[in-house]
A and B are shown apart, each in its own frame.
Chain A
Amino acid sequence: MARIGIFIDTLKGTLPSSFRDQLRSTLREIPEVAFSTEEEELVSSEALERMSKLLEREKVERVVIVGGSPKIYETSFQKWGLPLPLNPYLFTVANIREQVLWASIDEKEAFEKAKRMILKAIRIASSLKPIESQTLPLKPEVLILGGGLSGLSIALTLAKAGIQVFLVEKEKTLGGKTTELWKFYNKEVEVKGWLEQKISELRQNPRISLLAPAQLKYLRGHLGRFQATVLTGKGEEMTLTPSVIVVATGYGVERKRGGIYDHKRVITLSEMEKLLSETHPPFPLFEGKRVETVTFLLDETNEDIKFDAINAIKQSLILQGSLKCQVTILCKEVKVSSEGMERLYRKARGLGVLFVKYEEPPRLSLVNGQIQVEVKDTSILHKEDQWTISILSDLVVLSEAILPHQELTELSALLKLHLGKRGFLMEDNPQLLRVRSNRRGIFVAGGCRFPQEISETLFEADALAQEVLVLLSKGAYTYDLSVAEVDPKKCALCYTCPRVCPHSAITVEKYAERNVYLTFGIPQNTQWGAAKVDPASCFGCGICVGECPARAITLRHYPDELIYIQMGVDG
């Protein structure tokens, strides 16, 4: 029988004294109770110090706190250090304030309920088991997938902080989609030189091993013990053992095709960017002829991507401002929610760039070698009076559809990461704070999560680097074993738990000595396959426990018997 110490938190006197006297006289009759004592404010550091001394002297094995919400005690324990000379999992709380005092009016009834709750808490306390913590060594090695802007800047930041980085890029060249840009919208610098400097810095850094072209073929293991097989361009297979993996594989684009959209005078924003970088004033040339009118057609697919509007306005300023063109921008919304964009938008309007917001998709047709764009003018309120404007343009510039990269589905299956509704990598659990993925030790950033403008991509890359550095800086990851655990003997290998685990912490491995479902013909010294939870990757959510048909899985910090006691159905 465990000796239990009881602390009654009077919560600054809000627990009435008559109530407390009754409680204490009841408690005296329970044999397990070693002592019960009262504190004015148990969450204060002084009270916790007294508590610690008392526990030391009385040699109790379990602690029950009678008072308010467990949350306030957990908070103060975390802040002031645990006052218990015993395992932190050996205490339980009876929340009398919220569940009894706030809920009942009748005093007698309230006392009976409180008594029941405390008795339950005592029973729970006596069946609690200590939970130890474990440490997993983490060597400072990171594998980054993708050599675009995100991957590059993360690699540089990590390497500067002393981490060995393996950067795997599918293509021969680095820089990804950023190489298609000519100028920044918000500074007078060319992207090319800026990017090249980053790349040369990266190539010179001895801590960065660049594998390009190369591809991830296979991934096994968990945080701290990943085993990644990378196929290099020469067809060789390499095995890397990074502690952490960063996914920054970027996004894909798709250009609208078919009919008039295949015409050479219908180009994309990145083709326009290239044309502008090669243009010499006073005016742009297309196939040797002067370009006088340019029409941008935006928002046909991506309503939530901001950078096509940024690029279009940036290009229109150059075309209208210094290259003597007449520019029209057709869009659904003018997306100016980036720093300085409202000013650029007004500047463009001041220069004479026309903005038309359309509702029905504009129609394109070929007229005398020029592209005619027909669009309804929605600035007129009366629907019947909205006439169609037609614009003859030398060039029509399309924004491409921004899509998940075509290989992302395959990669997400390889890495066991979740894909969102639109096929980008999942990020939307607010509590996991964006750059963390559903698996511990795998981080996501850049266009494979959500395509963004350069400066925002850089912030995100830094935020990711910060997360990785903090994780690796201690050299080890320490965690409590408050996780799910499989009893390998009971496992029927139904593969339910690896499928339902949202954090991919469960794998099937050959480690079981015996399996109850195989009753004969067992050769000696055979290890049987069974599900296995990786404790460092488990979040302790308990989904697998509920799903396991064979009841082979238990939560170490919340076994079934505790739930039964709590429900009062254990007889």
Chain B
Amino acid sequence: MTLTNMLEKEVLIIGGGIAGITIALELAQWGIPPLLIERNSSIGGLASTFCCKASESCNKCFACVVDKRVSEVYQNKKIQLLTQTEVSRIRRNEKKFEATLKKGRELYDLRTNAIVVAAGIDPYDATQKGEYGYGRYPDVITAKDLDEMLRYKGKLIRPSNGELPARIAFFQCVGSRDESIGNLYCSQVCCAYALRLIKAIRYQYPLIEVSFFYMDIQPAGPSFESFLKSCREDRRIRLIRSLPSKIYFSPASNLLKVRVPDPQTGEVAEETFDLVVLSVGMVLNKGAKSLVQWLGLNYTEDGFIESPPLQKGVFVAGACSGPKDIDRTILHSKHIALEVYQFLKGIN
């Protein structure tokens, strides 16, 4: 037996990641009570799985900001939150939208004036890059796996034997700037993200050696220059402009072998690593595809969601409109919150 509830809200926000949360909080400040729905059982999205990446001082990863916003949503009476809820249908009815939401066995019939799509992104599926052996070799992990390991386990280990790794390699641009898989865009956040992870690891485990393989280091925000300088000065961090093409696994020694050029001499040599971290890029959240169809939205060239014209009442916020870090997602979401407000009040 399913129960059907009727709901009438000014704004429906789809996605309880940092973008959805920020918009919900901003709208609540305007006195517009939004409905925030999230597929998972808790809000915070991808950003809430990130660990603090401070070394000697804060490295401005903005992970702590997310935790704070999440608790603010739980405290806010104006925001109605439905977790474990998915959209099963959306229809436009003249100026309003009619949506059916499904929460377990309960159904909600919703009428709303505006819809914000903040579906977020998925990390690129690294198993598609078969040459790196992700999913086959236990010690090849993604940067997100590493982040979760640091956040939930609180320590750094090699997944194969639980020991502390001594030599780590970071491979950048896995799933970004890659013609072979058709992702012709830069995911914009991974350089700074990986370097912050490296800094945090180096601070916690001063003996670990890290090699960072990249194409171009992409800047991220105002304090990045001095941060990058501190990375360059660290003698146990090697920044190497070269992307290895393949990872070999040696079962006898349980080590990962990579052919890399020596940054000093330029000689190509085989090196072994205990752990390889793949900096995976961003792709649009799989769940967002049906939303795009129902709401008549378009994709950008890069496969993210294009922002529709203002008068439509549909808004696209956060990284599902193109790669963004936490900081820029918050700024972008505030901008969308203002647009939603202007749309509802008829200001243009």
Contacts and interface: CB of A to CB of B under 8 A. Distances in A.
Interface string A538-564: 000000000000000000000000000
Interface in A426-478: 427-428, 430-431, 433-435, 449-450, 456, 458-460, 462-463, 465-467, 469-470, 473
B318 to A, nearest CB: 12
B241 A303 contact: no
Contact of B68 (A424, A431, A460): A431
Contacts of B264: 383
B198 to A, nearest CB: 17
B335 to A, nearest CB: 4
A357 B338 contact: no
Contacts of A462: 334-335, 338-339
A434 B301 CA distance: 30
Contacts of B29: 470
Given A382-B266, A420-B222, A459-B332, A434 B186 contact: no
A58 interface: no
B224 A304 contact: yes
Contacts of A160: 342, 347-348
Contacts of A465: 338
Contacts of A427: 222
Contacts of B191: 337
B30 interface: yes
Contacts of A431: 64-65, 68
Given A337-B186, A337-B219, A79 B225 contact: no
A343 B184 CA distance: 6
A79 B76 contact: yes
A343 B74 contact: no
Contact of A339 (B64, B223, B322, B341): B322
Interface stretch (B42-50, B94-102, B116-124, B323-331): B323-331
A512 B342 CA distance: 48
Contact of B222 (A80, A304, A458): A304
B230 to A, nearest CB: 12
Contact of B218 (A335, A380, A385): A335
B216 A466 contact: no
A304 B225 CA distance: 6
B219 A357 contact: no
Given A339-B322, A383-B265, A433-B65, A456 B328 contact: yes
A303 B265 CA distance: 25
B343 interface: no
Given A459-B332, A463-B331, A470-B26, A337 B218 contact: yes
Contact of B74 (A75, A303, A378): A75
A102 B208 CA distance: 34
Contacts of A196: none
Contact of A305 (B179, B219, B342, B348): B219
B266 A303 contact: no
A569 to B, nearest CB: 33
B304 to A, nearest CB: 9
A59 interface: no
Contacts of B65: 430-431, 433
B58 A450 contact: no
Contacts of B217: 333
A78 interface: yes
A49 to B, nearest CB: 15
Interface in B289-348: 300-302, 322, 327-328, 330-332, 334-335, 337-339, 341-342, 347-348
Nearest to B333: A463
Contacts of A516: none
Interface string B183-202: 01110100100000000000
Contacts of B167: none
Interface string B254-275: 0000000100111110000000
Interface in A352-389: 357, 378, 380-383, 385
A275 interface: no
Contact of B221 (A75, A304, A357, A469): A304
A312 to B, nearest CB: 14
B238 interface: no
A383 B266 contact: yes
A346 interface: yes
Contact of A469 (B219, B261, B266, B338): B338
Interface string A331-350: 00111111111110010000
27 contacts: A78-B75, A79-B76, A80-B77, A81-B77, A161-B342, A303-B219, A304-B221, A334-B215, A337-B219, A339-B300, A340-B185, A340-B301, A341-B186, A346-B184, A378-B241, A381-B261, A430-B64, A433-B330, A450-B222, A460-B331, A460-B335, A462-B335, A462-B339, A463-B332, A466-B334, A469-B338, A473-B30
Given A383-B264, A434-B330, 12 more contacts: A79-B77, A304-B219, A304-B224, A305-B219, A334-B216, A335-B218, A336-B216, A421-B223, A422-B226, A430-B64, A431-B64, A466-B334
